[in-house]
Structure 1
Amino acid sequence: MKKLVFLVLLLVAVTWSVNAQNRSINFEQTKEWKRIVKKAKKEKKLVFIDCYTSWCGPCKMLASKIFTQDAVADFFNENFVNTKYDMEKDVDGVMLKDKFGVKAFPTLVFVDPETQEIAHCIVGARKAEELIAEGEKAKDRENNLRGMMKRYAAGERSAEFLIAYMSTLAAAYQKDEVDKVAVEYLNTLSLEELMTKEGWGLINQYVKDPLSAPLKQVMENRSKFYTVASKVVIDDKLEYCINVAVGQLVDWDPESGVAFDEGRNRALIDYLQNIDFFVAAPTGLANLYTAGYVRERDFRGLLNKMKEVLGYNMFRSVVSKGRYLQRNFEALSRSEDKALLEEGIKWIDLLCMSTNEYSSKAKLMNSKALLQIKIGDTEGAAKSKVEEEQYMQEGQKKRNERLMRIRNNS
């Protein structure tokens, strides 16, 4: 009898343990959005949507490791009507992806069923406690994403609010808006306030435009900011922002339907001319100057400018020089002038002879093959591709030898 009682108690304990640790978010069985909205209206709850795709690793982690935790399951089941959509395969998922502007995965959206507008949103996977905190914020009409947007539009500008608003925008992947708010806030701070750990932290996290007042302040007072963060950190941030701004103009596509921003192009050129002492400025200017010929389809001018740029030695690294040449030789391949293309091919041979960098040689052979294909020299292009592969292999061999020497000497 005692054994029987013991076995029954053991079975009950095991069953309780399994059930206690087996709760998960209860996602609606239906994939019909209208039915989900109707249920949420009736229950007076927000709709929580897990926007996922079949190939998204973090999405799978959320589903298996986070949504199955008891605390998460209990909170979301009590407070929201929960649904999930494959944004590429489910019919209503594709519709909602467009409706809510979902661009990255996972995106976790909280929707007001009355207006079918986003109340709150976070992009990317979160830990259990972070997800619950975001759910609490979603329920807070004043402090969720929509509420903070309304407060900002109404003119609220306290430092505490703006810092919280930036964090909420960043979590929602609202990059353009968070950059705008960050610059607006930082513009109200003195140089001394910018040169604090908190001030630099906001600049480093949110400000991307090298023409913005905060980044101009950093550039002008670099030596002072080096006391807040290291020289490497400060200079890397400035260089990265300049490179991105230059790249956006250089990579402009006339078929994009967006007009080229000539005013910004001129402003960036003027700024880089004024800071030509900084490492990224000469390279940026070289790219912007040359891109002008590409936009005008002036291929004669393009080749001349490329030769002029290399004559002035405007590159501080082999990598930046290689990218410049590869980008502009690709642009040159759009020319229909056979004599000009042949001139470009001959110049590539001279450039290849003048460098000992095998990676540079390989990229030059890649560009040479591109031009050879354009003039119909398929045999020559095939030979150039073989040389490209040989240079790549030789470069890898040299790198391996260097690594071996380092290991032997350590």
Structure 2
Amino acid sequence: MKKLFVLIVLMAGIVWGAEAQSKGITFEQTKEWKKVLKKAKKEKKLIFIDCYTSWCGPCKMLSSQVFTREDVGNQFNADFVNVKYDMEKDADGVMLKDKFEVKAFPTLVFVDPNTQQVVHKMVGAGSAEWLMEGGKIAKDPQNNLSGLTKRYEAGERTTDLLSRYLTALSSAYMQEKQGAVAAEYLNALSDDEIVTKDNWELIKKNVSDPLSKPIRQVIANIGRFYEVAGKEVVDYKLENSIKGAVAEITYWRSGNGEFDEARNAELIKLLQSLDYAFIPGALASLYTAEYVRKGDYKGMLNSMREAFKYNVFRNGEEQMYFQNNIEALAGCDDKTLVQEGIDWIDARCAQTKDYFAKANLMNSKARLLTKNGDTLGADKAKMEEEKYNAEGEKRSGGKAVRAIRMN
């Protein structure tokens, strides 16, 4: 009787495990690409590939929270042959990473087994609904990435096609192609032609350069775009576009390649013609950056004082402006000027009540003290940085963390 009970329990466990596994996506046990191809050809299905790495957090989220959903499993098990590859450890995974141009993780690829060509690609992680919709599109030969590309290359230029194609390119993280497609269409439009709701959506999603023709047309026809899309939405897009271009210039350093002086001058000219609350701060950043590029650190410090004198920054932007420029003193060989920067850091640290900001300032101070050869002082500043960071986390109740610096 006891043996019979144990047997029943074991069988129940096996059945339960099989049932649990069947609720989500069933991935092939084999890692041999040739075998996967053979099965997909036989079943006349596309291949769905989860391209992951062992260290990828979003990959793990998909694996544990999305792939395990019953509705996801029902759809993908019926429509695809499913396979997972560690793109760094599995032999065929390494091969397929290059073959399918996988550059970020997670990347989800849908492949035609007969041609071994990608018909659709999704980069990143999303909800179960996001994945299921992507699976439906992958099966649509007219509207998956491959189909849209063929339609575009055949000369189709309807707004619906462009919207779908640009969305697919964005999903596949094909940014260069996405920008080229958007530019080709939008750059050909006159002022009267471009002011439509559909064209605004294309600009909003696909154009970020304030010096591009579409953004300049938005600026030139601002009132008409306000009517089409709303003042708040249009102004938000313009502000983000301009700030992005300004940041690209202000964060430039000599190791980043040749500096584009013509673009810098053109951007300054554009900003000088605009009247938004954030423009003075953007211009101050560009003016100060010129001193940094020239290695004129005394001029840089004077430019910074001028900017703070007239209070040109808003929404906490002065902190980023201060740190980006004060840390440029790490390239200065004049110890007196570097010390001037260190003293200014101490003054700002005493004034701010934000403990994460204090931690960042101590990080900058450590860099400058190291530049001046004061290693003991630098170590002390790093200890202060850790103390302020811990206090910031404590005061937030663990709900806020300081952004990690990568340099």
> Which bracket does the TM-score occupy, shorter chain normalised?
0.7 to 0.9
Change (3 A) 1:21 1:396: closer
Residue in 2 that maps onto 1:374: 371
Q: Quick check: 1:358 aligned with 2:356? A: no
**Aligned alpha-carbon RMSD (Å):** 4.0
Aligned to 1:83, the other structure's residue is in SS state strand
Letter in 1 for 2:215: L
2: CA distance, partners of 1:397 / 1:77 = 47
In the TM superposition, 1:27-42 aligns within 5 A as 27-41=27-41
**CA–CA separation in structure 2 for the residues paired with 1:368 and 1:356:** 15
What amino acid sits opposite 2:120 in the alignment? H
Partners in 2 of 1:398 and 1:320 — Cα distance? Answer: 23
Per-residue deviation at 1:121? Answer: 0.8
**Partner Cα distance (1:194, 1:224) in 2:** 7
* Percent identical residues: 54
Task: Normalising by structure 1, report the TM-score.
Answer: 0.75
- Seen in structure 2, the aligned counterparts of structure 1 residues 348 and 167 have a Cα distance that, compared at 3 Å, is closer
1:292 is aligned to 290
Cα distance in 1 for residues equivalent to 2:390 and 2:85: 46
1:309-344 deviation digits (Å, cap 9, x = unpaired): 445544234x21111111112111122222332333
Separation in structure 2 between the aligned mates of residue 380 and residue 117 of structure 1, nearest angstrom: 58
Per the TM alignment, residue 390 of structure 1 is displaced from its structure 2 partner at its CA by 8.2
The match for 2:195 is 194
1:321 aligns with 2:318: yes
Moved more, 382-391 or 183-192: 382-391
1:291–1:193 CA distance, 2 compared to 1 (3 A): closer
C-alpha distance in 2, partners of 1:48/1:162? 25
Letter in 2 for 1:271: L
Question: For structure 2, which runs of at least 5 residues remain unmatched after alignment?
Answer: 1-14, 398-407
Moved more, 387-396 or 37-46: 387-396
Q: Following TM superposition, by how much is the alpha carbon of 1:166 offset from its aligned partner in structure 2, in angstroms?
A: 1.8
2-structure distance, mates of 1:377, 1:66 = 52
Distance in 2 between the 1:193 and 1:259 partners? 34
2:377 & 2:159 partners in 1: Cα distance? 64
1:245, distance to aligned residue in structure 2 (A): 1.7
How far off its partner does 1:84 sit? 0.7
Compute the TM-score of the two structures, normalised by the length of structure 2: 0.75
Q: Residues 140-174 of structure 1: CA distance to partner in whole angstroms, max 9, x if unpaired?
A: 43332122223223322122211221222222233
User: Does the CA contact (< 8 Å) of 2:53 and 2:87 recur in 1?
Assistant: yes
| C-alpha distance in structure 2 between counterparts of 1:69 and 1:315, whole Å | 48
Give 3-state SS (helix, strand or coil) of 2:121's partner: strand
**Which residue of structure 2 aligns with residue 212 of structure 1?**
212
Aligned-residue offset at 1:306: 3.2
Measure how far apart 1:48 and its partner are.
1.4
How big is the shift at 1:26?
A: 3.1
Pairs within 5 Å for 1:49-60: 49-56=49-56, 58-60=58-60
What do residues 329-369 of structure 1 show as CA deviations (whole Å, max 9, x unaligned)?
Answer: 211112222233233334545x539x843346665554334
Distance 1:253 1:320 in 2: 20
Alignment of 1:135-284 (within 5 A): 135-187=135-187, 188=189, 190=191, 194=195, 196=197, 198-222=198-222, 225-227=225-227, 231-252=231-252, 254-255=254-255, 258-275=257-274, 277-284=275-282
Per the alignment, in what secondary structure is the counterpart of residue 22 of structure 1? helix
Partner Cα distance (2:139, 2:396) in 1: 56
Letter in 2 for 1:288: L
Q: Which runs of 5+ in 1 are unaligned?
A: 1-14, 401-410
| Secondary structure in structure 2 of the residue aligned to 1:252 | coil
The 5-angstrom pairing of residues 28-177 of structure 1 reads 28-41=28-41, 44-56=44-56, 58-68=58-68, 72-125=72-125, 131-177=131-177
Aligned-partner SS, 2:84: strand
The CA distance in 2 between the partners of 1:31 and 1:255, in whole Å, is: 42
Partners of 1:210 and 1:245 within 8 A in 2: yes
Q: Name the count of aligned residue pairs.
A: 380
SS in structure 1 opposite 2:333? coil
- Residue of structure 2 equivalent to 1:405: none
